[in-house]
Protein backbone atom coordinates (compact mmCIF):
# COMPACT_ATOMS: atom_id res chain seq x y z
CA UNK A 1 0.00 0.00 0.00
CA UNK A 2 2.81 2.45 0.82
CA UNK A 3 4.33 2.17 -2.64
CA UNK A 4 0.91 2.86 -4.09
CA UNK A 5 0.39 5.88 -1.84
CA UNK A 6 3.60 7.52 -2.94
CA UNK A 7 2.93 6.97 -6.64
CA UNK A 8 -0.49 8.52 -6.28
CA UNK A 9 0.89 11.47 -4.38
CA UNK A 10 3.61 11.94 -6.95
CA UNK A 11 1.03 11.73 -9.69
CA UNK A 12 -0.98 14.43 -7.97
CA UNK A 13 2.11 16.58 -7.46
CA UNK A 14 3.29 16.45 -11.07
CA UNK A 15 0.31 15.76 -13.30
CA UNK A 16 2.15 15.87 -16.64
CA UNK A 17 4.75 13.18 -15.95
CA UNK A 18 2.30 11.23 -13.81
CA UNK A 19 -0.28 11.17 -16.57
CA UNK A 20 2.10 10.11 -19.31
CA UNK A 21 3.55 7.42 -17.06
CA UNK A 22 0.07 6.14 -16.32
CA UNK A 23 -0.79 6.10 -20.01
CA UNK A 24 2.38 4.21 -20.77
CA UNK A 25 1.58 1.72 -18.06
CA UNK A 26 -1.99 1.47 -19.35
CA UNK A 27 -0.71 0.66 -22.82
CA UNK A 28 1.59 -1.92 -21.31
CA UNK A 29 -1.30 -3.53 -19.44
CA UNK A 30 -3.68 -3.53 -22.40
CA UNK A 31 -1.14 -4.98 -24.81
CA UNK A 32 0.68 -7.14 -22.27
CA UNK A 33 -2.30 -9.19 -21.10
CA UNK A 34 -4.28 -10.64 -24.01
CA UNK A 35 -7.47 -10.96 -21.94
CA UNK A 36 -7.37 -7.30 -20.95
CA UNK A 37 -6.69 -6.37 -24.56
CA UNK A 38 -9.62 -8.52 -25.66
CA UNK A 39 -11.97 -7.05 -23.09
CA UNK A 40 -10.88 -3.55 -24.07
CA UNK A 41 -11.79 -4.32 -27.70
CA UNK A 42 -15.10 -5.73 -26.48
CA UNK A 43 -15.70 -2.55 -24.52
CA UNK A 44 -15.17 -0.43 -27.63
CA UNK A 45 -17.60 -2.69 -29.51
CA UNK A 46 -20.20 -2.30 -26.75
CA UNK A 47 -19.71 1.44 -26.84
CA UNK A 48 -20.20 1.57 -30.62
CA UNK A 49 -23.37 -0.56 -30.32
CA UNK A 50 -24.69 1.64 -27.54
CA UNK A 51 -24.02 4.89 -29.38
CA UNK A 52 -24.77 3.96 -33.00
CA UNK A 53 -26.70 0.68 -32.60
CA UNK A 54 -30.02 1.89 -34.08
CA UNK A 55 -28.22 3.17 -37.22
CA UNK A 56 -26.19 0.00 -37.75
CA UNK A 57 -28.80 -2.73 -37.57
CA UNK A 58 -30.34 -4.28 -40.71
CA UNK A 59 -33.97 -4.38 -39.43
CA UNK A 60 -36.26 -2.32 -37.23
CA UNK A 61 -35.97 -4.00 -33.78
CA UNK A 62 -39.70 -3.55 -33.17
CA UNK A 63 -41.02 -4.49 -36.62
CA UNK A 64 -42.94 -7.76 -36.49
CA UNK A 65 -43.21 -10.08 -39.46
CA UNK A 66 -45.09 -13.29 -38.70
CA UNK A 67 -44.12 -14.83 -42.03
CA UNK A 68 -40.58 -15.38 -40.74
CA UNK A 69 -41.49 -16.06 -37.09
CA UNK A 70 -39.28 -18.47 -35.11
CA UNK A 71 -36.71 -18.97 -37.85
CA UNK A 72 -33.28 -20.30 -36.82
CA UNK A 73 -30.17 -18.26 -37.67
CA UNK A 74 -29.68 -17.84 -41.41
CA UNK A 75 -27.93 -15.46 -43.78
CA UNK A 76 -30.91 -13.10 -43.73
CA UNK A 77 -31.27 -13.17 -39.97
CA UNK A 78 -27.84 -13.93 -38.48
CA UNK A 79 -29.27 -14.61 -35.03
CA UNK A 80 -32.64 -15.87 -36.23
CA UNK A 81 -36.04 -14.39 -35.46
CA UNK A 82 -38.32 -14.52 -32.42
CA UNK A 83 -41.95 -15.60 -32.08
CA UNK A 84 -43.16 -12.36 -33.71
CA UNK A 85 -40.64 -12.51 -36.54
CA UNK A 86 -38.48 -9.71 -35.18
CA UNK A 87 -34.81 -9.84 -36.15
CA UNK A 88 -32.83 -10.92 -33.09
CA UNK A 89 -29.52 -9.43 -34.22
CA UNK A 90 -31.13 -5.99 -34.49
CA UNK A 91 -32.78 -6.38 -31.11
CA UNK A 92 -29.59 -7.57 -29.38
CA UNK A 93 -27.56 -4.68 -30.82
CA UNK A 94 -30.18 -2.01 -30.07
CA UNK A 95 -30.64 -3.35 -26.53
CA UNK A 96 -27.00 -2.48 -25.76
CA UNK A 97 -27.85 1.16 -25.20
CA UNK A 98 -30.53 0.55 -22.59
CA UNK A 99 -28.46 -2.00 -20.67
CA UNK A 100 -25.40 0.27 -20.70
CA UNK A 101 -27.52 3.24 -19.62
CA UNK A 102 -28.86 1.38 -16.61
CA UNK A 103 -25.39 0.19 -15.65
CA UNK A 104 -23.64 3.54 -16.16
CA UNK A 105 -26.25 5.68 -14.43
CA UNK A 106 -26.60 3.36 -11.45
CA UNK A 107 -22.84 3.16 -11.02
CA UNK A 108 -22.50 6.94 -11.35
CA UNK A 109 -25.26 7.45 -8.80
CA UNK A 110 -23.75 5.08 -6.25
CA UNK A 111 -20.33 6.57 -6.88
CA UNK A 112 -21.60 10.01 -5.91
CA UNK A 113 -23.74 8.87 -2.96
CA UNK A 114 -21.54 6.09 -1.61
CA UNK A 115 -18.24 7.73 -2.47
CA UNK A 116 -18.99 11.03 -0.81
CA UNK A 117 -20.65 9.65 2.32
CA UNK A 118 -17.88 7.05 2.61
CA UNK A 119 -15.13 9.65 2.37
CA UNK A 120 -16.92 11.84 4.89
CA UNK A 121 -17.32 8.85 7.24
CA UNK A 122 -13.65 7.94 7.00
CA UNK A 123 -12.40 11.49 7.23
CA UNK A 124 -14.60 12.94 9.96
CA UNK A 125 -15.25 9.76 11.97
CA UNK A 126 -17.57 10.24 14.95
CA UNK A 127 -21.31 10.48 14.35
CA UNK A 128 -20.96 10.80 10.56
CA UNK A 129 -19.16 7.47 10.58
CA UNK A 130 -21.78 5.87 12.83
CA UNK A 131 -24.69 7.16 10.75
CA UNK A 132 -23.23 6.03 7.43
CA UNK A 133 -22.14 2.73 8.98
CA UNK A 134 -25.63 2.02 10.35
CA UNK A 135 -27.20 2.82 6.99
CA UNK A 136 -24.95 0.46 5.06
CA UNK A 137 -25.32 -2.23 7.77
CA UNK A 138 -29.08 -2.10 7.30
CA UNK A 139 -28.75 -2.52 3.54
CA UNK A 140 -26.27 -5.37 4.06
CA UNK A 141 -28.77 -7.16 6.29
CA UNK A 142 -30.86 -7.93 3.19
CA UNK A 143 -30.05 -10.39 0.45
CA UNK A 144 -29.24 -7.76 -2.16
CA UNK A 145 -31.25 -8.93 -5.16
CA UNK A 146 -34.27 -9.39 -2.91
CA UNK A 147 -33.90 -5.84 -1.64
CA UNK A 148 -33.66 -4.57 -5.22
CA UNK A 149 -36.89 -6.42 -6.03
CA UNK A 150 -38.60 -4.85 -3.04
CA UNK A 151 -37.42 -1.35 -3.92
CA UNK A 152 -38.56 -1.58 -7.54
CA UNK A 153 -41.89 -3.05 -6.41
CA UNK A 154 -42.40 -0.22 -3.93
CA UNK A 155 -41.16 2.70 -6.04
CA UNK A 156 -42.89 1.58 -9.19
CA UNK A 157 -42.06 -0.43 -12.23
CA UNK A 158 -39.79 1.89 -14.28
CA UNK A 159 -36.25 1.91 -15.64
CA UNK A 160 -35.34 4.86 -13.41
CA UNK A 161 -36.30 2.85 -10.35
CA UNK A 162 -34.17 -0.07 -11.50
CA UNK A 163 -31.25 2.36 -11.65
CA UNK A 164 -32.03 3.63 -8.15
CA UNK A 165 -32.43 0.10 -6.73
CA UNK A 166 -29.16 -1.06 -8.30
CA UNK A 167 -27.39 1.98 -6.87
CA UNK A 168 -28.80 1.35 -3.38
CA UNK A 169 -27.72 -2.28 -3.19
CA UNK A 170 -24.18 -1.33 -4.23
CA UNK A 171 -24.03 1.46 -1.66
CA UNK A 172 -22.37 -0.51 1.20
CA UNK A 173 -19.53 -1.65 -1.06
CA UNK A 174 -18.64 1.89 -2.15
CA UNK A 175 -18.94 3.22 1.37
CA UNK A 176 -16.61 0.56 2.70
CA UNK A 177 -13.91 1.24 0.13
CA UNK A 178 -14.15 5.04 0.24
CA UNK A 179 -14.24 5.01 4.03
CA UNK A 180 -11.15 2.80 4.38
CA UNK A 181 -9.19 4.78 1.81
CA UNK A 182 -10.13 8.15 3.33
CA UNK A 183 -9.42 6.90 6.83
CA UNK A 184 -5.77 6.05 6.14
CA UNK A 185 -5.24 9.48 4.56
CA UNK A 186 -6.99 11.69 7.09
CA UNK A 187 -3.73 12.66 8.77
CA UNK A 188 -1.37 12.20 5.84
CA UNK A 189 1.29 14.87 5.31
CA UNK A 190 -0.41 16.48 2.36
CA UNK A 191 -3.70 16.74 4.24
CA UNK A 192 -1.97 18.39 7.21
CA UNK A 193 -0.18 20.74 4.84
CA UNK A 194 -3.47 21.69 3.22
CA UNK A 195 -5.04 22.23 6.64
CA UNK A 196 -2.09 24.38 7.78
CA UNK A 197 -2.37 26.58 4.73
CA UNK A 198 -5.92 27.41 5.76
CA UNK A 199 -8.12 25.10 3.70
CA UNK A 200 -11.52 24.26 5.13
CA UNK A 201 -12.40 20.65 5.90
CA UNK A 202 -14.80 20.27 2.96
CA UNK A 203 -12.26 21.76 0.60
CA UNK A 204 -9.66 19.25 1.82
CA UNK A 205 -12.19 16.47 1.37
CA UNK A 206 -12.95 17.40 -2.23
CA UNK A 207 -9.60 18.74 -3.41
CA UNK A 208 -7.15 16.50 -1.53
CA UNK A 209 -8.79 13.26 -0.42
CA UNK A 210 -11.17 12.63 -3.33
CA UNK A 211 -8.58 12.83 -6.14
CA UNK A 212 -6.38 10.44 -4.21
CA UNK A 213 -8.94 7.71 -3.80
CA UNK A 214 -10.36 8.16 -7.29
CA UNK A 215 -8.18 5.43 -8.93
CA UNK A 216 -9.35 2.77 -6.46
CA UNK A 217 -12.94 3.89 -6.93
CA UNK A 218 -12.59 3.64 -10.71
CA UNK A 219 -11.59 -0.01 -10.40
CA UNK A 220 -14.61 -0.61 -8.22
CA UNK A 221 -16.86 1.14 -10.72
CA UNK A 222 -15.71 -1.11 -13.53
CA UNK A 223 -16.22 -4.23 -11.42
CA UNK A 224 -19.69 -3.17 -10.28
CA UNK A 225 -20.71 -2.27 -13.85
CA UNK A 226 -20.84 -5.98 -14.59
CA UNK A 227 -22.83 -6.64 -11.46
CA UNK A 228 -25.21 -3.78 -12.27
CA UNK A 229 -25.88 -5.21 -15.72
CA UNK A 230 -26.60 -8.64 -14.23
CA UNK A 231 -28.84 -7.17 -11.59
CA UNK A 232 -30.86 -5.07 -14.05
CA UNK A 233 -31.19 -8.00 -16.44
CA UNK A 234 -32.30 -10.22 -13.57
CA UNK A 235 -34.97 -7.72 -12.56
CA UNK A 236 -36.33 -7.43 -16.08
CA UNK A 237 -36.16 -11.22 -16.43
CA UNK A 238 -38.74 -11.57 -13.66
CA UNK A 239 -40.85 -8.87 -15.28
CA UNK A 240 -39.76 -5.73 -13.40
CA UNK A 241 -38.71 -2.49 -15.01
CA UNK A 242 -38.45 -2.79 -18.75
CA UNK A 243 -41.70 -3.63 -20.56
CA UNK A 244 -41.94 -6.27 -23.32
CA UNK A 245 -41.66 -4.70 -26.75
CA UNK A 246 -38.56 -2.74 -25.67
CA UNK A 247 -35.40 -4.61 -26.60
CA UNK A 248 -33.44 -5.41 -23.45
CA UNK A 249 -31.22 -8.46 -22.90
CA UNK A 250 -32.85 -9.72 -19.70
CA UNK A 251 -36.38 -9.52 -21.03
CA UNK A 252 -35.32 -11.09 -24.34
CA UNK A 253 -33.90 -14.08 -22.47
CA UNK A 254 -37.20 -14.24 -20.57
CA UNK A 255 -39.12 -14.24 -23.86
CA UNK A 256 -36.88 -16.98 -25.20
CA UNK A 257 -37.26 -19.06 -22.03
CA UNK A 258 -40.67 -20.31 -23.11
CA UNK A 259 -39.21 -21.68 -26.36
CA UNK A 260 -36.19 -23.46 -24.86
CA UNK A 261 -38.24 -26.55 -23.96
CA UNK A 262 -39.41 -26.85 -27.56
CA UNK A 263 -35.91 -26.44 -28.93
CA UNK A 264 -35.88 -22.85 -30.25
CA UNK A 265 -32.57 -22.10 -28.56
CA UNK A 266 -31.52 -18.99 -30.45
CA UNK A 267 -34.11 -16.62 -28.96
CA UNK A 268 -32.66 -16.92 -25.46
CA UNK A 269 -29.08 -17.77 -26.39
CA UNK A 270 -27.97 -14.63 -28.23
CA UNK A 271 -29.22 -12.01 -25.75
CA UNK A 272 -27.86 -14.24 -22.97
CA UNK A 273 -24.47 -14.37 -24.67
CA UNK A 274 -24.47 -10.59 -25.13
CA UNK A 275 -25.23 -10.22 -21.44
CA UNK A 276 -22.46 -12.61 -20.51
CA UNK A 277 -19.90 -10.94 -22.76
CA UNK A 278 -20.75 -7.48 -21.40
CA UNK A 279 -20.36 -8.65 -17.80
CA UNK A 280 -17.17 -10.53 -18.65
CA UNK A 281 -15.82 -7.43 -20.36
CA UNK A 282 -16.37 -5.19 -17.35
CA UNK A 283 -14.99 -7.74 -14.89
CA UNK A 284 -11.84 -8.18 -16.94
CA UNK A 285 -11.49 -4.43 -17.48
CA UNK A 286 -11.80 -3.97 -13.73
CA UNK A 287 -9.02 -6.48 -13.12
CA UNK A 288 -6.90 -4.78 -15.76
CA UNK A 289 -7.57 -1.36 -14.25
CA UNK A 290 -6.56 -2.71 -10.87
CA UNK A 291 -3.23 -3.77 -12.35
CA UNK A 292 -2.70 -0.18 -13.49
CA UNK A 293 -3.78 1.43 -10.26
CA UNK A 294 -2.47 -1.05 -7.75
CA UNK A 295 0.18 -3.40 -9.16
CA UNK A 296 0.72 -4.99 -5.76
CA UNK A 297 -2.74 -6.49 -5.62
CA UNK A 298 -2.39 -8.35 -8.90
CA UNK A 299 -3.94 -11.77 -8.97
- Residues making contact with other proteins (CB under 8 A): 134, 137-138, 141-151, 153-156, 226, 230, 233-234, 237-240, 250, 253-254, 256-257, 260-263, 265, 268-269, 272, 275-277, 279-280, 283-284, 299
Q: Looking at beta carbons only, is 182 or 267 nearer to other proteins? A: 267
Residues with Cβ within 8 Å of residue 109, at least 6 apart in sequence: 163, 164, 167
Q: Looking at beta carbons only, is 150 or 211 nearer to other proteins? A: 150
Give the CA count within 13 Å in the CB-facing half-sphere of 255: 25
Q: Looking at beta carbons only, is 61 or 250 nearer to other proteins? A: 250
Q: Looking at beta carbons only, is 207 or 260 nearer to other proteins? A: 260
102 sits in which H/E element: helix 88-124
What is the smallest separation between the CB atom of 43 and other proteins, expressed in angstroms?
Answer: 14
42: number of Cβ within 10 Å: 17
What is the smallest separation between the CB atom of 183 and other proteins, expressed in angstroms?
Answer: 21
Please give the full DSSP string across 128-142, using - where no structure is assigned.
Answer: HHHHHHHHHHHHHTS
What is the smallest separation between the CB atom of 27 and other proteins, expressed in angstroms?
Answer: 23
Q: Looking at beta carbons only, is 42 or 68 nearer to other proteins? A: 42
What is the smallest separation between the CB atom of 8 and other proteins, expressed in angstroms?
Answer: 25
What is the smallest separation between the CB atom of 28 and other proteins, expressed in angstroms?
Answer: 21
Angle of CA points 230, 155, 149, to nearest 5°: 35
Distance CA 113, CA 109 (A): 6
Distance CA 44, CA 283 (A): 15
Q: Is 81 helix (H, G, I), strand (E, B) or coil?
A: strand
Amino acid sequence: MTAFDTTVIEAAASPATGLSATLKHARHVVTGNPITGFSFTLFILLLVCALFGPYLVPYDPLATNTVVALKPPSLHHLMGTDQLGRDLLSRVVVATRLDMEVAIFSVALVFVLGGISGIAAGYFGGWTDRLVGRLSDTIMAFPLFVLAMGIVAALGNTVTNIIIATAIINYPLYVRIARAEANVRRNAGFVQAARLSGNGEFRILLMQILPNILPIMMVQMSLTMGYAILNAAGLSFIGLGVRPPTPEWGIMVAEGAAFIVSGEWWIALFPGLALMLAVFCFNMLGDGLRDIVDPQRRT
